[in-house]
Amino acid sequence: MNGKIVLITGANAGMGLATTIEIAKKGATVIMMCRNKQRGEEALKTAIEQSGSTNIKMMICDLGSLESIHSFINQFKEKYNHLDILINNAGVMTLKREVTRDGFEMQLGVNHLGHFLLTNLLIALLKNAEEARIINVSSGAHKVGKIHFQDPFLTKRFGLMKGYAQSKLANILFTKELSRKLKNTNITVNALHPGAVATSIGVNRKTGFGKSFMKLMKLFFLSPEEGASTAIYLATNDEVRHITGEYFYKKKISLVSKAALDGDLSKRLWTWSEQQVSIYPQK
């Protein structure tokens, strides 16, 4: 991993921070993408202390804002001319319906559309690498997910799992379609289920509501370090260097839902997503 540049979204806590520390230990330059400056700076300090590496940087970006994503990309391109590994780790889960700055339902907006735009805007830098990898953190929740095209932002009937499962199914459909579009390039794209992990994903981004529930979860669920193991494996192991378009669980290729294998659905979601974030079709 020496000399490789790795970008990790949602790196200020949980699996993102654990992934940052372990990959930095392996010699890579890691850029921690964080939404909040104060929490990001605290996480950066922790990452440097625990990894023993000084090749860790922190950059600000809110995946719930298309403007923030474009601003981040401009800053990133000023500093780096290529990117070896992109780990789309950031995720939110909301107990009640919330919206992003652009009016998207928060879970679909951050978990899918924010990463969709970010990834597409980074493709050129990934192509500049000798061998590049995109890793999307999805969830086993995708298996109960549907893409609700008639009301994708759940304005009429919101449900926590309905919205979260939709966003996680979108992660896998995005992975499958992007891997097809990048066939015969230097870039592989894979998704993963980290397992049931005790993180801050269910804590309200503004009020902090849900912290007590998340503390209780830690008694029964995997630690962030355990949850990060498959993402680290996909980012660093030579065994998967030529594997693309797959879904991993516990470092092995795993089965996905019938909907996740629907090529027509992945194409439809791709076109819809392009329209939402206003980008040109990926060549």
| Contact criterion met (CB below 8 Å) for 260 and 142 | yes
For residue 13, give the DSSP letter.
Answer: S
Q: What is the pLDDT of residue 221?
A: 56
Domain assignment present for residue 153? The answer is: yes
91 residue type, one letter: G
Domain assignment present for residue 244? The answer is: yes
What is the average pLDDT across 97-116?
A: 97
Mean of pLDDT over the chain: 90
Residue 210 scores a pLDDT above 90: no
Q: In whole angstroms, what is the distance from residue 4 CA to residue 94 CA? A: 35
| Contact criterion met (CB below 8 Å) for 89 and 16 | yes
Mark 88-117 as b/e (b = at least 16 C-beta within 10 Å).
bbbbbbbeebbebeeebbbbbbbbbbbbbb
Q: What is the pLDDT of residue 228?
A: 83
Q: Where are the alpha helices (DSSP H) in the chain?
A: 14-25, 37-51, 66-79, 106-107, 115-127, 160-181, 211-217, 224-227, 229-236, 263-277
Tokens encoding 242: 């030529």
Around 274, how many Cα atoms within 13 Å sit in the side-chain half-sphere?
14
pLDDT-derived band of residue 73, with 50, 70 and 90 as boundaries? very high
pLDDT-derived band of residue 14, with 50, 70 and 90 as boundaries? confident
Q: What is the pTM of this model?
A: 0.90
* Residues tagged active-site: 164
Q: Residue 229: which of 245, 254, 246, 252 has the closest Cα?
A: 252
Domain assignment present for residue 283? The answer is: no
Q: What is the pLDDT of residue 202?
A: 47
Q: What is the pLDDT of residue 173?
A: 98
Domain assignment present for residue 119? The answer is: yes
Per residue in 29-61, pLDDT (tens digit) is: 999 999 999 999 999 999 999 999 999 999 999
Domain ranges, residue 128: 5-277
- CA 14 to the chain's CA centroid: 13
Q: What is the pLDDT of residue 268?
A: 98
Q: In whole angstroms, what is the distance from residue 167 CA to residue 145 CA? A: 8
Burial of 236 (0-12, 13-18, 19+ CB in 10 A): middle
What is the average pLDDT across 13-35?
A: 95
Domain assignment present for residue 49? The answer is: yes
pLDDT-derived band of residue 205, with 50, 70 and 90 as boundaries? very low
Domain assignment present for residue 48? The answer is: yes
Span of 80-84, 192-196, 206-210 with lowest mean pLDDT = 206-210
Q: What is the CATH number of the domain that holds 134?
A: 3.40.50.720
HEC readout, 144-194:
HCCCCCCCCCCCCCCCHHHHHHHHHHHHHHHHHHHHHHCCCCCEEEEEEEC
Q: Please give the tally of structural domains in the chain.
A: 1
Span of 171-185, 189-203, 245-259 with lowest mean pLDDT = 189-203
Q: What is the pLDDT of residue 215?
A: 53
Domain assignment present for residue 282? The answer is: no
Domain assignment present for residue 45? The answer is: yes
